[in-house]
Amino acid sequence: MTGSPELPDDAAADGGAGAAVPVRGARRAGSAPADVAGISSEAAAGVAGAARTAAGLARACHPGPAAAVTTLVTVLVAVAGWGPAGTALTALAVLTGQLSVGWCNDAVDAARDAAAGRTSKPIVAGLVSARTVRVAAFAALAACVPLSLACGVVAGATHVVAVAAAWVYNLWLKGTAASWAPYAAGFGAVPVFVAAGTPRHGLPVSPPAWWAVLAAALLGCAAHLANVLPDIETDVATGVRGWPQRLGPARVRVLLPLPVLAASALLVVAPPGPAGPVRWFALAGVAACAAAGLLLARRVPVAPFAAAIGAAGIDVLLLAATPGVVTGG
């Protein structure tokens, strides 16, 4: 016997096909909250994923060194008279350069960090992928170049060379005895950058004083030692054989204060004229930072780096306050 398809039980109970319409409509209406809930959960998951990626990128950029270098250079150009626009432009150029360097470092080291079980690293922890960090590094580098050149051709080219040196460190020199060279070049470029971009009011651009460049390069070597010190043993286990790793942690702790003190001594005695009590007081402050970093190194792994940053801050103030930094002398 043929006929119409059987109605659902609940529709048949109401007496026919016509009764099925509101019931079916009610079912579709009833499914809407589930659809909305599904969309909401997907949106929430997307937001959570984006937040996780952002947090991973923030940690992968090496925020401490990036903030320290950006702040120190920005303060230096502000005191040198670059003006609000030039100072803000410098901050953006240096920040994007530092972001590119930090992200490049973590992307290059991803496999090594995973092998060493460094779960403090955001890529290893699964917060962000190595590919995302790599893309971010190139994006920051692409932004850094025009921002740097907007500070002036010579100043911009100097900064781009310094950033390029840091990339060379990440990609090649990190595991060699010359691992100190990119740090020395990058820090030594700071007085050149400041001198080249400082408004001259019609006067020709003069190179910075030799002692300022040498002092900055010595601070770069100290920063390298302090930055690597906490990870020396892990680095050696994963095959990294840079300058600090070849020295070993005990020797690095002893050596670290020397370039800091040498740089500060240069800034005190090398400028023309008598040093004066302010410079000697600054040197004493640097010596105190170096001693604190040396004494606390074993118990607080980040102490040497923090001490180096503190000493560098004092030296930046000396650089800014001393005649002959942005002009030869």
The DSSP output letter for 249 is H
Nearest to 123 by CA among 136, 109, 137, 140: 109
Amino acid making up residue 71: T
Given this model, what pLDDT does residue 318 score?
82
CA atoms within 13 A on the CB side of 4: 6
CA distance 152 to 183: 23
| DSSP string for residues in 17-65 | HHHHHHHHHHHHHHHHHHHHHHHHHHHHHHHHHHHHHHHHHHHHT-HHH
Alpha carbon 42 to chain centroid, angstroms: 32
Amino acid making up residue 262: A
Angstrom CA distances, 231 to 40, 53, 124, 206, 294, stand at: 43, 25, 16, 41, 16
Percent of the chain exceeding pLDDT 70 equals 84
Task: Give per-residue pLDDT as tens, 180-215.
Answer: 999 999 999 999 999 998 876 556 667 888 999 999
Residues in contact with 100: Cβ distance below 8 Å, sequence separation at least 6, in sequence order:
137, 138, 140, 141, 144, 163, 167
Structural domain spans, the chain: 62-321
At residue 12, does pLDDT exceed 60? no
| The Cα angle at residue 219 between residues 186 and 307, in degrees rounded to 5 | 125
The mean per-residue pLDDT over the stretch 76-97 comes to 94
Task: Give per-residue pLDDT as tens, 100-151.
Answer: 999 999 999 999 999 989 999 999 999 999 999 999 999 999 999 999 999 9
Which class is 62-321 in CATH? mainly alpha
Helices 303-321 and 210-228 cross at an angle (nearest 10°) of 170
At residue 87, does pLDDT exceed 60? yes
